[in-house]
Amino acid sequence: MRKLALVLMFVCGFWVSGESAGADEDQPSKPLRVLVLFSNQRTLPANQEMQRGIWSSLEPLINSHRIELFEEYLEFHRLPVADENPPMVSFLKKRYKEMVPDVIVLIGTQALDFSEKWMSSIFPDAKKVFAGVLEDQARLFGERYPSAGVVYELAVQPLLEKVEAMMPEVHSVVLVAGAAKFDREVVEIVKDQLEDKGSWEISEIVGEMPESAAEKLSDLPSGTVVVFTSYFQNTEGVTYIPRKILKQLSEKSSAPIFALYDTMLGSGATGIGASPFIDQGRQAGELIQRIVAGESPREIGTIVDDDLKFRFDAREMRRYGLDPKLAPEGVEIFYEYPGLIESHPYAFFFGTMAILVQSLLICSLLWTRYQKQKAENQAREMERYFATVFEENPNPMAVIRVSDGTLQDINPAWEKLYELTREAVLGRTPLDVGILSRDTDAGLYEDFVKNGKVLSGYEREVRTGSGELRNVAFYSNTVEVGGSRVRILTTVDASDRIEAEKLRNSLSRGNRVAQLGQVSAWIAHEINQPLGSILSNAESGLLLLEREAEQARDTELQEILSDIKKEDRRATKVVEHIRTMLGNHSTTKSPLAVSEIFDDVFRMASPEAKRRVVDLRYPSGGIPKVSVLGDRVLLVQVLLNLVFNAMDAVGGVPMSKRIVSLACEASLEDGWVDLIVCDRGPGIPPDHLSSVFEFFYSTKEDGMGLGLAISRFIVEDHRGEITVRNMDGSGARFQIRLLLHEPTNEH
């Protein structure tokens, strides 16, 4: 039983211990606590870049809870650390009493000094690594500094070699630094490096007030460059952020300033040559990763960050006349922003097009506005001009409103001609004031106002204010004034011209009568000779018959009769000659297209029709393509005579009814064609229809009664006939019927 109990106890103990061991394996290991101790304040750009590098490297371990990362800032230049018991020592002990760091990361030489004096009493068991320390400064610590860390080099010589390649005339270097211990250490290291080269003239401005240093930099000789090292304090103990001091100095410096830290770029430095702080932070993070992986600081050792970066500011380069495109090889150009076209070509194109379209639209609107103003100015100028012309015009002028036919304005010449004042006529019609007769002219005036007929030399008899009758000619035009349509009516006094025309017609009639008398005498003279000869021969023949023998009588009688025949032919020729003379042209006939005759008539009569305000209408149904045999001049003259007579007939009717129509009808089967002239006048009295073609018959005061008689003579000479009849309603219809020549079937 005792043995069984021992076995059970052993088994149970083994099981319990195994379970406990399994539980320990499942329990996660404690995260590594890392404290990063920065030498200066949080706002220092170098610290911010270092922090970014450390965090970017350790972020996976932090997110997986394998590391707890803490940060503290010694603010070495502002808080005292030389006391027997500095406040930062007690602060760190108290703050991390329950969370003692496993690894201390010391950033900067001030943090190394602090660690050497106090870290053994604060965190004696913590492992120590460092970063952000110059290689020359780390060398001064010797065995006193931690065995693991990241050091960097000052790149003053490589930087100035780049500068010398771009500015071969440079031979002098001015070093600018503050008065802090770190500032002086850095400037001494830089001087040692430059003196080793021996080809530079070196001067320095150390510890001076920023204003004084800037004043000295404002008057540097040519061939000089400035190297800004570090500036944390001046000689009076006032602390600064180096980047701000560099900005202040660069604003007045007459020479380009170069710096040894990458955080100085963009604050007035023309260029920098340095190991970027963010890269040093990443390397420090990699050291911590190796410690987490189990390596000891001594196994890791010191890492030298010799990956130098040369970065120049394009803005500062141009300020000092340096072309960024000529920068030496290995130099990165910053702040060289691409132009708008290069960075946003499509946006620039469409934006430019939009601006162009808008500009064109604006220009178009401005041009339209200019044109409108110009038109308005011209309209006002034309109104003033028209008013002047209207008032000063020697011809009587009146403005008649279309809507009611009333006179809206008259000029002085109108008052003088019609012997009426403005007050007496404005607002009234010519019918109201008695210029036109209401009995005979009311319809004509209404037709003129409403239908808008344009008058051009339309002659009419009017009555003046004194009752005198005057013959005048009217000219009209329609315009819009102030949105209202008006007619401008110009009057020309035609009394003198009409009297002269009557006198001229009377003289012409007398002259024609005298000519006819001379022609009659000549006809009598010319025909009397052959008739006298015929009479003598006839008497001789009779006497011969009475006394001569039959044979001799027959022979002589033949001779007499031959003479009679000869004289008869002579008389016929005389008549033909007279007819030719009266026509004043050759009566030779030839084939004529009827359409050409109508075209000539319409062309010749249209101007007179326009002057008389007569609607002359061309054949509406077209003209058959037929021809006649005749004299073109004579046939055209006959039709013109009929057309002008028709115009005279419609002269007394309203203008809307002054219509003269031409027509043509052909019968190919019967072989004739009718040339027709119709009017809408009063027609011909029925008892006069048989007399209109007689010589010296006329219904006109100045007519000689020869036109229609001669027309009939010419038509009959062409083997045709001319007739007239009154149409149903009103008007007369004259018809000329001629024989066709070579009729065709084309219509």
For residue 364, tell me if it sits in a domain.
no
- Those residues of the chain that have pLDDT short of 70 are 1-28, 77-83, 141-145, 198, 339, 342, 482, 499-542, 544-554, 556-563, 565-587, 620-621, 697, 699-705, 742-747
CATH at 112: 3.40.50.2300
- Does residue 233 sit in the same domain as residue 328? yes
- If asked whether residues 452 and 578 sit together in one domain, one would say no
**pLDDT of 563:** 60
pLDDT at 690: 80
Evaluate whether 442 touches 431 at the Cβ level (below 8 Å): yes
Same domain, 170 and 222: yes
Is 609 domain-assigned?
Answer: yes
Residues near 530 by beta carbon (within 8 Å), at least 6 away in sequence: 567, 568, 570, 571, 574
Task: Indicate whether 449 and 511 sit together in one domain.
Answer: no
Looking at the 3D structure of the chain, how many domains does it have? 5
Instruction: Give me the amino acid identity at 55.
Output: W
Is the residue at 383 inside a domain?
no
Do 93 and 107 belong to one domain? yes
Question: Cα(721)–Cα(148) distance, rounded to whole angstroms?
Answer: 143
Instruction: Tell me what pLDDT residue 23 has.
Output: 39
CA 529 to each of CA 164, 520, 563, 564, 582: distance values in angstroms, whole numbers, following the listed order = 140, 14, 13, 12, 21
Q: Indicate if 472 and 503 belong to the same structural domain.
A: no
Question: 188 and 127 in one domain?
Answer: no
**Among 493, 520, 554, where does a domain finish?**
493
Instruction: Specify the pTM.
Output: 0.47
Max CA pair span of the chain: 225
Q: Which two tokens stand for residue 702?
A: 């100045």
Domain presence at residue 381: no
Specify whether 515 is located in the same domain as 474. Answer: no
Pairing status of strand 103-107 against strand 224-228: unpaired
| CATH assignment of the domain containing 625 | 3.30.565.10
**CATH number of the structural domain spanning residue 465:** 3.30.450.20
Relative orientation angle of helices 550-583 and 707-717, to the nearest 10 degrees: 120
In a domain, 259, yes or no: yes
Distance between CA atoms of 725 and 628, rounded to whole angstroms?
Answer: 24
Tell me, yes or no, whether 551 and 437 share the same domain. no
Q: Do both 175 and 323 map to the same domain?
A: yes
Q: Tell me if 281 is assigned to some domain.
A: no
Residues 704 and 666 in one domain: yes
- Domain-terminating residue out of 583, 608, 640: 583
Residue 371, domain member (yes or no): no
Helix (H, G, I), strand (E, B) or coil at 627: strand
How far apart, in whole angstroms, are the C-alpha atoms of residue 55 and residue 277? 13
524 inside domain:
yes
How confident is the model at residue 319, as a pLDDT? Answer: 93
pLDDT of residue 360: 92
Q: What is the structure's pLDDT at 7? A: 37
- The residue from 535, 565, 583 where one domain ends is 583
CB 57 within 8 A of CB 282: yes
Q: What range does the domain containing 188 cover?
A: 159-274+307-334
pLDDT score for 528: 54
- What is 711-733 written as a DSSP string? HHHHHHHTT-EEEEEEPSSS-EE
Cα 709 to Cα 630, 713, 716: the distances in Å are 18, 6, 11
CB atoms within 10 A of CB 236: 8
209 and 114 assigned to the same domain: no
| Alpha-carbon gap, residue 542 to 264, rounded angstroms | 160
Report the C-alpha gap between 40 and 46 in whole angstroms.
9
CA dist 189 and 661 (Å) reads 123
